[in-house]
Structure 1
Amino acid sequence: MTGFATAPGRVNLIGEHIDYNGGTVLPAALSVGVSVELAPVNDDTVEITADQYDMSAQRQLSDDAVGDWSDASVGALREANALGLLSGGAKIAIRSNIPQGAGLSSSAALTVAILKAARNAVGASTPGDQDIAIAARRVENDYLGVPCGIMDQFAVAIATPGTAMALNTASLEYELLELPKEYTFVVIHSGVSRKLTDGRYKERKVECDEVKAYFETDDLCSLEQGDIAASSLHEAARRRAVHCVTEHRRVLATVAALKAGDVETIGAMMNASHISMRDDFEMSVEPIDGLVASSIGLGAIGARLTGGGFGGCIVALVEESRKERWQTRVLGAHPDAWFVCEA
């Protein structure tokens, strides 16, 4: 029996690099996404076709990750077998309109969609979407070797376009929130691609782990800035910790502002978040900084880098009635950038 499933991309409105440090994050589901058609087979072969690639891939369930575009699919099928949804390989057809290297969680959307398609193929009611998200994270961490947190998988497994998810990554409690009326979050690609496996994302996680080991806590975001400043940690580790502590508080302020319809505070928190990512977490690059500055200068209420960093996209909060003129002016000032979608 063939199973079919879809999963959206996500944009993180605020709360970067704190989902593996005990913080609260605020991702939103996007209209772009991944769809998967999956047909189980009786042996361990894996055959994958994808509309973003010219060729198909033939793999085995026993294959380790080799840095190929098909790795995520193999890892997801291995997890589907571990969950008892499948007892072998599969033929998978993938369609996606999420730009690769944009920081919009194409990998998480793919693994979630494959696991949901496997569940649908056998007509199972379990695992539920939350367990699917946790399993998809295992694919990223254990098979692909990406030390990500749980945010991306939760957002694409549970949230729907038009909503944001306030997710406490320590407890996994979440709340779905409506996005503000008469305003839109615009996602623009900087023109600089990024890849989480290039090592810099891992470096940041290692630095955060140093802080957690020093203070003997997994909840880095609950630390006080004074304690960080007084520590004997090296300067880079202190700055990473300051970002996490202040970013967590910015997310909480943004959630409260979203509930109150206070778009000015939302924009101010986004702007402060970008400064922290640029200066304390050192995860931005010059084209991103320029794009954020232009976005704000040309009328966005707030703008920031979104995703794992070192390239990819920005997200900007713009009044709906001014969006088209604003977007034309921003893209005119940055020829390498392009519009991706809205949240």
Structure 2
Amino acid sequence: MSELYTARAPGRVNLIGEHTDYNGGMVLPAALTVGLEATLMPRADTTVAVSSNGYDAPAIRNLADDAVGDWADPCVGAIREANALGLLKGGATIDIVSTIPEGSGLSSSAALIVAVLKAAREAVVEGPGDIEIAIAARRVENNYMGVPCGIMDQMAVALATPGTAMALDTKAMAYGVVPLPANHEMVVVHSGLTRKLTDGRYAARKEECDAAKRHFGTEDLCLLDLATVEASDLDEVPKKRALHCLTENARVHAAIAALDGGHIERFGQAMNASHASMRDLFEMSLPEIDALVASAVELGAVGARLTGGGFGGCIVACVEKDLREEWLEALLSRHPRARFIDAVGG
């Protein structure tokens, strides 16, 4: 009987820095306590059999299968990648136990791919490092699943440390650790609206960013000069996307400095400004999420914003630890579809 190999990956919440990771910018994700565990048994044939606590019936697929929009696509892509890396020589039977809500914007697909790749890595004496695993996981999403995502999610779930945030420079692939505040929590609340990165709207935003890149002759929208973009004759929509990217990148730097200096009010201001930019310039929010963010701040959060790829999913709010329970009760009573997911702090 083949050996069993197990690995875990956390969900992640992005505190600030949305859609900057494929535009040469900074991001600030943090690992959550919710996550998933993958147990893998290598197979000699080319079958990929996947069971999960989130689905009633197992998925029986083949390594030769292309992505079909099925919940098991990340597993098939991960096993294909594991074969390409020399970690496996065939299919696998995989069991998934997850506490990450699907479609929440908390990187469930990235966590699934990373966990499967890390489990496959256990099958060899010497395998790729965590950064290489993250890069491989991104290849699965980009090349197999057709999601034009950046590297943030994969790096965060492959390397992030609980209780800290990861200040990740996606252009240089360099990162540092930023302690989360001791007296505040980053509270993740699901809006009740689910989303899929494969539904086309994420790809549309990527294409609009690409149009701005062609106009300015750069891959790094986040590093452009504000006055240059504002004065350009670029069409309105791609110009708005570029303005979000470069101002969001500046907000990430400001947020990191605020956390490092213990200036929690400044951090909250950066979160609030980030949400306004996602709503008005990147146009990735929804009225229900705007209302949830507004209520979060009205009820006492230092700052709040949509987190994730957009068009649904979760918000993240910075709330004093001592006030969290009272704040959360008031927020959920005002927004019955919303639900608490997790909270992380220093």
TM-score by length of 2: 0.98
8 Å contact 1:38–1:121 — kept in the other structure? no
Aligned residues: 342
| 1:177-192 → structure 2 map (5 Å cutoff) | 177-192=178-193
8 Å contact 1:103–1:308 — kept in the other structure? yes
The residue type paired with residue 332 of structure 1 is S
8 Å contact 1:85–1:119 — kept in the other structure? yes
Structure 2 residue aligned with 1:117: 119
Structure 1 residue aligned with 2:47: 45
User: 1:278 Cα shift?
Assistant: 0.2
Q: Is the partner of 1:315 in helix, strand or coil?
A: strand
Q: Is the partner of 1:39 in helix, strand or coil?
A: strand
User: 1:43 Cα shift?
Assistant: 1.1
The residue type paired with residue 305 of structure 1 is L
Cα distance per residue 1:10-53 (max 9 Å; x no partner): 00000000100000000000000010000001111111100000
User: 1:228 Cα shift?
Assistant: 1.0
Q: Distance in 1 between matches of 2:22 and 2:127?
A: 26
Structure 2 residue aligned with 1:8: 10
Q: CA RMSD in A?
A: 0.7
Q: Distance in 2 between matches of 1:256 and 1:230?
A: 29
Structure 1 residue aligned with 2:196: 195
Percent identical among aligned pairs is: 61
User: 1:285 Cα shift?
Assistant: 0.1
Q: State which drifts further: 223-232 or 17-26.
A: 223-232
User: Runs ≥4 in structure 1, deviation > 6 angstroms?
Assistant: none
Cα distance per residue 1:188-222 (max 9 Å; x no partner): 00011111111110010000011111111111111
Q: Distance in 2 between matches of 1:52 and 1:108?
A: 16
Structure 1 residue aligned with 2:84: 82
The residue type paired with residue 157 of structure 2 is V
TM-score by length of 1: 0.99
Structure 2 residue aligned with 1:220: 221
Q: Is the partner of 1:336 in helix, strand or coil?
A: coil
The residue type paired with residue 190 of structure 1 is S
Q: Is the partner of 2:117 in helix, strand or coil?
A: helix
Structure 2 residue aligned with 1:332: 333
Q: Is the partner of 1:121 in helix, strand or coil?
A: coil
Q: Is the partner of 1:218 in helix, strand or coil?
A: coil
8 Å contact 1:48–1:92 — kept in the other structure? yes
Residue 134 of structure 1 pairs with residue 107 of structure 2: no
User: 1:162 Cα shift?
Assistant: 1.1
Q: State which drifts further: 328-337 or 228-237.
A: 228-237
| 1:13-24 → structure 2 map (5 Å cutoff) | 13-24=15-26
Give ranges in structure 1 of 5+ residues lacking alignment: none
Cα distance per residue 1:211-250 (max 9 Å; x no partner): 1111111111111121112212110111110000000000
Structure 1 residue aligned with 2:238: 237
The residue type paired with residue 204 of structure 1 is R
The residue type paired with residue 13 of structure 1 is L
Q: Distance in 1 between matches of 2:11 and 2:271?
A: 20
Q: Distance in 2 between matches of 1:199 and 1:334?
A: 28
User: 1:163 Cα shift?
Assistant: 1.3
8 Å contact 1:8–1:160 — kept in the other structure? no
User: 1:182 Cα shift?
Assistant: 1.1
8 Å contact 1:28–1:159 — kept in the other structure? yes
8 Å contact 1:30–1:160 — kept in the other structure? no
Q: Distance in 1 between matches of 2:45 and 2:161?
A: 35
| 1:1-343 → structure 2 map (5 Å cutoff) | 1-122=3-124, 124-343=125-344
Q: Is the partner of 1:277 in helix, strand or coil?
A: helix
Give ranges in structure 2 of 5+ residues lacking alignment: none
Q: Distance in 1 between matches of 2:191 and 2:288?
A: 6
User: 1:252 Cα shift?
Assistant: 0.3
User: 1:125 Cα shift?
Assistant: 3.2
